[in-house]
Amino acid sequence: MKGDIGVIGLAVMGQNLILNMNDHGYKVVAHNRTTEKVDEFLQGPAKGTNIVGAYSLQELVDKLESPRKIMLMVRAGDVVDSFIDKLVPLLDKGDIIIDGGNTNFPDTNRRVATLKEKGIHFIGSGVSGGEEGARFGPSIMPGGSPEAWPFVKPIFQAISAKTENNEPCCDWVGNDGAGHFVKMVHNGIEYGDMQLITEAYQFMKDGLGMTHDEMQSVFIEWNKTELNSYLVEITSDILGYKDTDGEPLVEKILDTAGQKGTGKWTGINALDMGIPLTLITESVFARCLSSLKDQRVEAEELFGKKESIVEGDKQVWIEALRQALLASKIISYAQGFMLMREASNENGWDLNYGNVALMWRGGCIIRSAFLSNIRDAYDIDPELSFLGSDSYFKGILENSMSAWRKVAAKSMEVGIPMPSMTSALTFLDGYTTARLPANLLQAQRDYFGAHTYERVDKPKGEFFHTNWTGKGGDVSSTTYNS
Ligand code: NBP
């Protein structure tokens, strides 16, 4: 009997996905560039299963049922192109190549188009959830050639995580690089969620002088509220974890955050598309700032250590902090969905935002109860332009407003950096202000560069230039795009 699917790449993700597919009754053919790893896998974790090995790409292709489905779980970038180049001459029209790595979506756009000309279908799929997700149920976000989806759907939906209602956390996202785009936004949102939690931690630790056991209890309690999520849950575990000397391990970890680039890509795309994705972008910058460790140590000495004590009833502050965190999180997701909406419009992807929320509901790092509410919001209004306008989320934003402002103001007053929570509030203040001071900005642009402006008392699309000083001419610059 031939194999149902081939997987290339026997590192942590590939091996675990293969074992997961095997558990669900699929016969998988496994290949890896370094073929010793095929033997190690077959004699190790895959021993006693139906998984078979292939020591060359030709052998892999020969062992697969038509149309062949070959999934790459290798390092993103040139390695994917190199495997595609080697596979194409061995494949037949209608065969399917799937890239399950963390690929930047323009690469997937390009690969879908190039392979289409050769009659090969290509799927670029985000896979989230790390090692455990891959083994027991990841969130899977596939996009690319729609013709390929019916062949891949049963396998992907079988191995994916399931919601509490047994819905698969995997569905077709859209054409071209839509799957990888949505995975990129997922990762950006993950940056935001993590940064928000760290800001709450610093407020509790430095501002309220709380012990790690106290903070752990707070996160355990928060996990029983609307903040219920994987990241809040692991944060409570981390805060309670003691090193061998009985002290909290977290305080022994160097405070410089790493990053692999997907948060940065999200920010870059937001800038390219003109979407104010402030919270995620602040989270990326917070990681950049954290990496300037030596400079920060010098600067603290130069400026003097801040006394950031927050006075007042601790319990009242903790509840205010919870509300500020929740409200900020709503803004982060609202901005992420604005970005997806813009990308969907620009690329004609026709994204289903409720389905995206459902795909993130389980199996991935940002899984949370909250995503069910997002799904509900898009069920009510599939074209919702701002998540915060949905009545459930609007209610939370309004109820949290006073506490959120208190926390933001206090953080500024005592010098606790909370870039994500404060920028989220600033965003909402801007978004809910009908008239912003961009009129003055336009006047400045016209003053120094003759960039023209539109008037509130004239139809949009009519452009005016004023000779502000009486010295300039009447010639204007090219019309601007807003
Ligand atoms: P890695 O990203 O570490 O990639 C390892 C695989 O790439 C091995 O099969 C390796 O073959 C192959 N490879 C490399 Br590296 N260079 C190669 C080359 N020049 N030619 C051919 N093959 C080459 O594996 P991973 O951590 O399992 O991740 C796989 C994909 O999934 C990546 O895109 C990753 O970003 C993504 N992802 C990872 C996670 C996670 O938690 N790790 C989560 C979600 C997504 P070799 O054995 O011969 O060196």
Our mutation pick for probing the ligand 1 site, out of 15, 72, 74, counting the most ligand atoms within 8 A of Cβ, is 74
SS3 state at 96? strand
Tell me what pLDDT residue 429 has. 98
Q: What is the pLDDT of residue 260?
A: 83
81 touches ligand 1 (CB under 6 Å): no
Tally of CA atoms within 13 A in the half-sphere of 370 that contains its CB: 29
167 is catalytic: no
- Which pLDDT band holds residue 471 (cuts at 50, 70, 90)? confident
Q: Is 400 in the pocket of ligand 1 (CB under 6 A)?
A: no
Locate the ligand 1 atom nearest the alpha carbon of residue 130 and give its number.
41
Q: Going by DSSP bridges, is the β-strand pair 174-175/52-53 parallel, antiparallel, or unpaired?
A: unpaired
Query: What's the gap in Å between 279 CA and the centre of ligand 1?
Result: 30
pLDDT in tens, 153-212: 999 999 999 998 999 999 999 999 999 999 999 999 999 999 999 999 999 999 999 999
> Can you tell me the distance from the alpha carbon of 263 to that of 280, in angstroms, rounded to the nearest whole number?
7
CA 297 to centroid of ligand 1, rounded, Å? 36
- Which one is catalytic: 69, 183, 329, 410? 183
Q: What is the pTM of this model?
A: 0.95
Distance, in Å, from the CA atom of 99 to the CA atom of 72, rounded to the nearest integer, reads 5
Q: Cβ distance 68 to 8 under 8 Å?
A: no
Helix ranges, 97-256 (H): 105-117, 130-136, 149-159, 178-202, 212-222, 230-240
Residue 126 Cβ contacting ligand 1 at under 6 Å: no
Closest ligand 1 atom number to CA of residue 260: 35
Task: Give tens-digit pLDDT for 358-412.
Answer: 999 999 999 998 999 999 999 999 999 999 999 999 999 999 999 999 999 999 9
Mean pLDDT of 73-98: 98
Predicted confidence (pLDDT) at residue 482 exceeds the cutoff of 70: no
Question: Best mutation site among 12, 17, 33, 99 for ligand 1, i.e. most ligand atoms within 8 A of its Cβ?
Answer: 33
* Mean pLDDT, the chain, integer: 96
Q: Amino acid letter at 313?
A: D
Residue nearest to atom 18 of ligand 1 (CA): 79
Any ligand 1 atom below 6 A from CB of 124:
no
12 lines ligand 1 (CB under 6 A): yes
Please tell me if the CB atom of residue 46 comes closer than 6 angstroms to any atom of ligand 1: no
pLDDT tens, residue by residue, 31-84: 999 999 999 999 999 999 999 999 999 999 999 999 999 999 999 999 999 999
Each residue's pLDDT tens digit, 15-35: 999 999 999 999 999 999 999
* Alpha carbon nearest to ligand 1 atom 49, residue: 34
Q: Ligand 1: which of 35, 75, 81 to mutate, most ligand atoms within 8 Å of CB?
A: 75
Each residue's pLDDT tens digit, 212-268: 999 999 999 999 999 999 999 999 999 999 999 999 999 999 999 988 888 999 999
| pLDDT at residue 478 in the model | 73
Whole-number Å distance between alpha carbons of 83 and 96: 13
Ligand 1 atom having least distance to the Cα of 138: 44
Average pLDDT over residues 266-276: 97
Q: Cα dist. 425→57, 230, 398 in Å?
A: 53, 24, 12
- Residue 11 C-alpha to ligand 1 middle, in angstroms? 6
Options 63, 69, 190, 282, the catalytic residue: 190
Cα of 287 to ligand 1 centre, how many Å? Answer: 24
pLDDT at 481: 63
Ligand 1 in reach of 79 Cβ (< 6 A): yes
Instruction: Give the span between the Cα atoms of 315 and 331, in whole angstroms.
Output: 25
Q: What is the tens place of the pLDDT at every residue in 105-146?
A: 999 999 999 999 999 999 999 999 999 999 999 999 999 999
59 is catalytic: no
Q: Note whether 476 and 451 are within 8 A (CB).
A: yes
Residue 455 CB neighbours (<10 A): 12
Is the per-residue pLDDT at 431 higher than 70?
A: yes
Of 258, 251, 183, 177, residue with least CA distance to 213: 251
Least confident of 2-11, 62-71, 472-481: 472-481
Q: Residue 261: its pLDDT value, please?
A: 85
Asked if residues 404 and 324 have their Cβ atoms less than 8 Å apart, the reply is: yes
Shortest-distance atom of ligand 1 to CA 101: 33
In this structure, the dihedral spanned by the alpha carbons of residues 100, 101, 106 and 111, taken in order and rounded to 10 degrees, is -50
